[in-house]
Structure 1
Amino acid sequence: MAPIAIFLSLLPTCALSGKRPNILFLMTDSMDGRVIDPQATQAQAVELPFLRDFLSSEGTNFVRTYVNSPQCVPSRTSMCTGRRTDQIQTWSNEKGLAASLDGTLDDGCVSFYGKDQCASWAKQQNYSETIFTGLAKLGYGVNLYGKIDIGAAIMNDKKVRATTAALGWHTGPNLQIVTRSADIRRPTKQRPLELTKENVDHVHPEDWQTVERCQEWIQKLPPAEQNAEPFFLYCSLDIPHPAFKTNATWLAKVKEDKIELPQWPQGFPQSWHPYDSYMSISKHVEEMNYTTEEIMKVRKTYYAMCAEADYLLNRVWLSLTAKGYGLNNTFLVYVSDHGEMNMEHRQIWKNSMYEASTRVPFAIAGPGVAKGHRVTQLTSLVDVLPTLLDMGQETNWDRHVGLAGKSVLQLAGATSFAPAQFVVTPQEPRAIFAQYHSNMANTGSYMVRKGPWKYISFGHTLAAFSPKVYTPLLLNVDEDPSELQNLAAQRGQIVEQLEAELRMLLDPSEIDSRAKREDFHIYKRFFGSLCQDELRKKLKANYQGFDDGDFEKLQKWAKEISATLPPEGSPTTFVV
């Protein structure tokens, strides 16, 4: 079998009272959850015979599942630890989990930030398990292939690095991230059409290699009736993450006449919410002359990438069933870390609290799981870890008291081994939360999703983000699926109720301030000592069209945020 990280192989395992079910965990990056919901309009645009049709007919589809933070590293660390982003302080793609559970510092973190900083962060990050360590303790053989992107020293082992990708630290200190709250309104990405190609012969070779490695591992499995050790096989793709690249094979799966042209509100950018206009500009979708054909070209290319992901992950499942494994002895789980805006609200990438970005697939099939079941109860990616533990028949739930989510296994009709406080029930009046503190957004944002409502509020640290300007949004997602009608002014009582729900869970002002201060500390350490000419050069490389007015804005930002820092000698999470 494929090598497992040393830290996993050293974990103690529980004595099994009968074989636990296997778990095949399939993951994509940037899959809009609505594409996987057969009843959603977006699902009509592309053929997905495995991820949508098979899982919808043979399993349970949680069609209202949301991320905890809509970016790769923040979302994956939250999902894998079962903790909220503010609890583990993985604010952005430049900061994953700084150490493993035994205190081993992550090599990626050390290479970018040094041992002292990583040790300081490790003390602050509040987690006690991951999906991988939790299942290993239950006796699972844990096998990892493809994109991980959480840090936690998982990829310190060169054998693990040979079959996996994404350290959880991306490029390390990132000028666009750490200066986001300077509110520099310049493009930081390529134009959507520059990222879109429809005639690439060999698309996404890294994902094909991941699938081949998963298939090779499966080929070495003994027949199902002879396999004594339950396995957890993690196969994670990068597609349909941008850039948007495809070819005629996958475009043939797209139904162009079923692709909706997104509605863009009038008056950009002056009449738009300043958070949204900043995001559109940062993503380089601010230009006014997009034609219908150009918008649809991006959208259909994205859907074609979804079709490719469907084909690839189906190959993994078919290889497993060819060895005699099936839904009688193996749970099949499919998720994505976040969605893709795909030109909705004049945006691409993710990062937003709109449905295309925050709503993600979550589907399961396997022993006892109801077939053809569509669950509309609100769920979250923080529910994934407790659900997997429940699939693994965990009985010692006392060691999981810090989890932010609950098991959804009972919602799927299967037997749950979790106590009541760890189980989502069908009639539970549940609220789901999300937050975001990274690039392409100039201030923190928070989402509360409850019933038909979506409430979005913003961080107000620094004068540019005054509550009078960065006002909240209230959307009725059921009646307004395009999320174009802000009802906050008309439904003040609902706004107050959802704001109270948010503040019962966390302090949005404190968290926004903490994330921005940490950004500034990184800026000071890695960019603050540069001579002015060198700093300007780097800023121009990160912000297209950066000029003297922008530099003046940056200097004012640095002065203002310096005044918010704690006095010298106060506790800090950053090593200077």
Structure 2
Amino acid sequence: MCDSMDGRVVDPSAPLSKLVATPTFDALASDGVNFVRTYASSPQCVPSRASMLSGRRTDQIRAFSNDNGLALSPGGEPDEACVSAYGEAWCRTHGASQALETTLFDELRSGGYEVALFGKVDIGAGVLRRFGPAPTQDGYHGGASLPIVTRAADVRRPTKPNPLELVDDHAAHVHPEDWKVHDRCSEWLRAKGDASRSSGGGGGPPWFLYCSLNIPHPAFRTNATWLHAVDEAAVRASPPAWPAEGSMHPYDAYMTTSKAVGDDQPVFGEVGVFRVRRTYLAMVAEADYLIGQVVEAAREAKLYRGALVASLRVPLLLAGGALPVGPRFRRGAVATSLASLLDIFPTIAEAAQLRPLRKGALAGEPLLPLPRNTRSRLKYVAFGRDRDRDRVPWQLFDLESDPAEVTNLARTRPEEVARLDALLRAELGSGENRLSPDGDPDAIDAAAKRLQQATFLEHFAPCVANEAPLDAAAAEAFFARGEAQASPLDDSAARGGRTPLRQLLERAYTGFDEDDWRKVQWWAAQDIQPPFEARG
């Protein structure tokens, strides 16, 4: 699998697919099924992967951002990276609220499979210790990040002066870590093929190979080798256009500021966006080549015929000799039915004939044979509330007439918004581990913000002038006294006029000023409920 891949790259009906050559993805699609309407559970790496590999929605496992993965293994042992970032007590408390039952890797191992992991896993759950040493990325990204945990404070500033690095790198291997993953996966397959041949083609346990690249995830780097695969004239023919800030949806306006996007921005102005698009597509070509080499190694080892090959995030391709054949499946099919990365766990579990899990343990559905009656032309997006607790407007898109999701129909079609909102609440309010009996999306939004605030108070509030720690108990006592008290971040007695915390915020946000500091102080003093609710 690869990271940050735009699904339109492998959608034959999307203009983006015409901008870069992807022979491997094209071949896999011809040999299997191309699910062109696949969605990730989250736009961020850690929660998306944690959801996919646990089979649970991000709200069910309380994984909302890149600095909070799965704190405990299914057996209850704290993840080492979590302990390093937050301490064992925090991880045990947060892990109890996540109530992780299992992962795809654990189920495969329990089912007698040899499990080999190479490359980016990024979920926590003790995977690096239990399935190492080849996996990389720990699911915690070094611990709490100020721009993440203070997001609800409504600081409208770019999080970095230059959010993304643009480099023309002429090294033989542009992304050496990904090439190492490619080498290890290919070598593992060749060794597996040699062992199979030496035993006469029989014996040995079934196997599962997880081969995960980081590209085309930023930072953006490429060279002439991969740029040759990109149709630069076509990329240049579609210049970016930004609506006036006042006409943007609040989410788009926030992201535009946070990521420093716009005509007047040095990185993401018109010229910068062209460079980003061109470089990104070149990285797609490099990823296509590396995955192609791994697939070719499987063919050379005579292992492809009996394999199920899943290439995803968030293009989803299922191919290989092990795909079922029947009236509802044909090779080369383009599936327009809805799919989710939540469906990966049950699909692989069914193909591997693993033991059935309890009803409701997995949030997704098997994708093979092809699902029925899951096509809809409307996409509904519900948002939480802003800092002043006002609801952020809904979004509604017609995916057939507006596949790029540009025109928001929510105001003109309120009856569809109401219908889809009721369906969403019914889904969120059903099953175990739900956040509220009525499936209120606000409960999920509040849970994420409580976790961010609790993380901030636990790990950054001690950086006030007197360096006195403000742990969870102190925070609870503070909130119990009411909002009339001074903010726990009051820096009136600070030495030199600035607290260490404010200095950290000034480094985290470009242009952070006195008004922003007051926002953070106000937000930190707001009453919160306990962020963790242990579940049995």
TM exceeding 0.5: yes
- Counterpart of 1:536 (choices 479, 490, 502) is 502
For the 8 Å contact 2:2–2:215, the answer to whether it is kept is: yes
Q: Secondary structure at the match of 1:241?
A: coil
Amino acid in structure 1 at the alignment position of 2:162:
R
Q: Secondary structure at the match of 1:85?
A: coil
The offset of 1:83, in angstroms, is 0.5
Distance (whole Å) between structure 1 residues aligned to residue 272 and residue 532 of structure 2: 48
Distance (whole Å) between structure 2 residues aligned to residue 573 and residue 56 of structure 1: 43
The offset of 1:103, in angstroms, is 1.1
The offset of 1:296, in angstroms, is 1.6
Q: Secondary structure at the match of 1:458?
A: coil
Paired residues for 1:380-529 under 5 Å: 380-394=340-354, 396-399=355-358, 401-411=360-370, 425-426=371-372, 428=373, 430=374, 451-460=376-385, 462-463=387-388, 465-467=389-391, 470-506=392-428, 507-529=440-462
For the 8 Å contact 2:263–2:269, the answer to whether it is kept is: no
The offset of 1:500, in angstroms, is 0.8
For the 8 Å contact 2:78–2:126, the answer to whether it is kept is: yes
The offset of 1:101, in angstroms, is 1.1
Amino acid in structure 1 at the alignment position of 2:8:
R
Match of 1:279 in 2: 255
For the 8 Å contact 1:461–1:509, the answer to whether it is kept is: no
For the 8 Å contact 1:239–1:305, the answer to whether it is kept is: yes
* CA deviations over 1:539-563 (Å, ceiling 9, x no partner): 011001101111112122223xx22
Match of 1:10 in 2: none
Match of 1:18 in 2: none
Match of 2:118 in 1: 145
For the 8 Å contact 2:67–2:139, the answer to whether it is kept is: yes
Match of 1:364 in 2: 319
- Counterpart of 2:2 (choices 20, 23, 28) is 28
The offset of 1:453, in angstroms, is 1.2
Distance (whole Å) between structure 2 residues aligned to residue 142 and residue 207 of structure 1: 20
For the 8 Å contact 2:310–2:316, the answer to whether it is kept is: no
Distance (whole Å) between structure 1 residues aligned to residue 223 and residue 521 of structure 2: 46
Distance (whole Å) between structure 2 residues aligned to residue 293 and residue 112 of structure 1: 39
TM-score by length of 2: 0.85
Distance (whole Å) between structure 1 residues aligned to residue 531 and residue 271 of structure 2: 54
Distance (whole Å) between structure 2 residues aligned to residue 102 and residue 456 of structure 1: 36
Match of 1:103 in 2: 76
The offset of 1:309, in angstroms, is 0.4
- Counterpart of 2:13 (choices 39, 62, 80) is 39
Q: Secondary structure at the match of 1:133?
A: helix
Paired residues for 1:285-364 under 5 Å: 285-288=261-264, 292-327=270-305, 329-336=306-313, 338=314, 360-364=315-319
Decide whether aligned partners of structure 1 residues 385 and 44 sit closer, same or farther in structure 2, where only a CA change above 3 A counts.
same
* CA deviations over 1:433-456 (Å, ceiling 9, x no partner): xxxxxxxxxxxxxxxxx6111111
* CA deviations over 1:467-500 (Å, ceiling 9, x no partner): 2xx2111111211122221111111111111111
Distance (whole Å) between structure 2 residues aligned to residue 191 and residue 552 of structure 1: 25
Distance (whole Å) between structure 2 residues aligned to residue 374 and residue 397 of structure 1: 29
TM-score by length of 1: 0.79
The offset of 1:270, in angstroms, is 2.3
Decide whether aligned partners of structure 1 residues 86 and 205 sit closer, same or farther in structure 2, where only a CA change above 3 A counts.
same
Distance (whole Å) between structure 1 residues aligned to residue 165 and residue 381 of structure 2: 29
* CA deviations over 1:169-203 (Å, ceiling 9, x no partner): 112111111100111111013536x5112334241
For the 8 Å contact 1:261–1:292, the answer to whether it is kept is: no
The offset of 1:227, in angstroms, is 4.5
Structure number with larger C-alpha Rg? 2
For the 8 Å contact 1:29–1:239, the answer to whether it is kept is: yes
Question: Which range moved further: 489-498 or 122-131?
Answer: 122-131
Q: What's the % identity of the aligned pairs? A: 41
- Counterpart of 2:22 (choices 22, 44, 48) is 48
Distance (whole Å) between structure 2 residues aligned to residue 105 and residue 316 of structure 1: 33
Q: Secondary structure at the match of 2:462?
A: coil
* CA deviations over 1:125-160 (Å, ceiling 9, x no partner): 133221111112222110000000010111125xx5
Match of 1:21 in 2: none
Q: Secondary structure at the match of 2:458?
A: helix
Alignment gaps of 5+ in structure 1: 1-26, 339-359, 412-424, 431-449
CA RMSD of aligned residues (A): 1.9
* CA deviations over 1:289-332 (Å, ceiling 9, x no partner): 666443221101100000000111111111111111223x1111
Q: Secondary structure at the match of 2:246?
A: coil
